[in-house]
């Protein structure tokens, strides 16, 4: 008869092993017909140039503090972005994206939204809490410290307008 000397470890069924375990994360989308195959895609230098252009456009729009879509939605819209992450909060809910990962939360799926600015730096952190005791933080790096104050005011305006209605 064999005897085990160590603890019995159960298999891990969580977000660290299976990203589909996390509610709100979107899956990988199959490429459309006519989409370029991986070998047909632009090389790294071309991709970097396009990314730099997009980052410049985002930084220009972030300087306006609250959002290009405010006129379309009719209500307050908050948007903050850096080169890797983006936070958008509007009448539909809160959308977080970081690199190629993204998640969406409708207002009825949100228990709380918490924001925090870094003590010494230019970091702005927004954490979305869900009723099932999960939280989803994202950290955005501001171009300067003055943007963080504007971002906090913009986020507060959106939360005042939409979050109180949903709770």
The residue extents of the domains of the chain are 35-166
Per residue in 16-72, pLDDT tens?
Answer: 656 666 666 655 556 666 656 555 555 566 666 666 766 666 566 555 444 444 445
Q: Looking at the domain 35-166, which fold is it? A: PH-domain like (2.30.29)
pLDDT on residue 89: 94
pLDDT band at 74 (very low <50, low <70, confident <90, very high): confident
**Does the pTM exceed 0.85?**
no
Q: How far apart are the first and last CA of the chain?
A: 59
More confident site: 118 or 22 = 118
Q: Is the dihedral of CA 109, 166, 164, 157 positive or negative?
A: positive
């Amino acid at each position: 008869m064999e005897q085990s000397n160590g603890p019995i470890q159960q298999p891990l069924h969580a977000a660290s092993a299976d990203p589909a375990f996390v509610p709100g994360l979107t899956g990988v989308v199959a490429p459309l017909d006519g989409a370029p195959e991986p070998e047909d895609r632009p090389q790294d230098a071309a991709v970097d140039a396009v990314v730099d252009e997009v980052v410049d456009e985002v930084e220009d729009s972030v300087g306006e503090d609250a959002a290009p879509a405010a006129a379309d939605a009719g209500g307050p819209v908050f948007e903050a972005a850096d080169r890797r992450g983006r936070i958008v909060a509007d009448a539909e809910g809160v959308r977080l994206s970081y690199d190629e990962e993204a998640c969406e939360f409708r207002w009825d799926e949100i228990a709380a939204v918490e924001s925090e600015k870094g003590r010494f730096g230019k970091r702005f952190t927004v954490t979305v809490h869900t009723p099932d005791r999960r939280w989803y933080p994202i950290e955005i790096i501001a171009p300067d410290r003055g943007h963080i104050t504007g971002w906090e005011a913009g986020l507060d305006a959106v939360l005042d307008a939409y979050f109180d209605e949903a709770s």
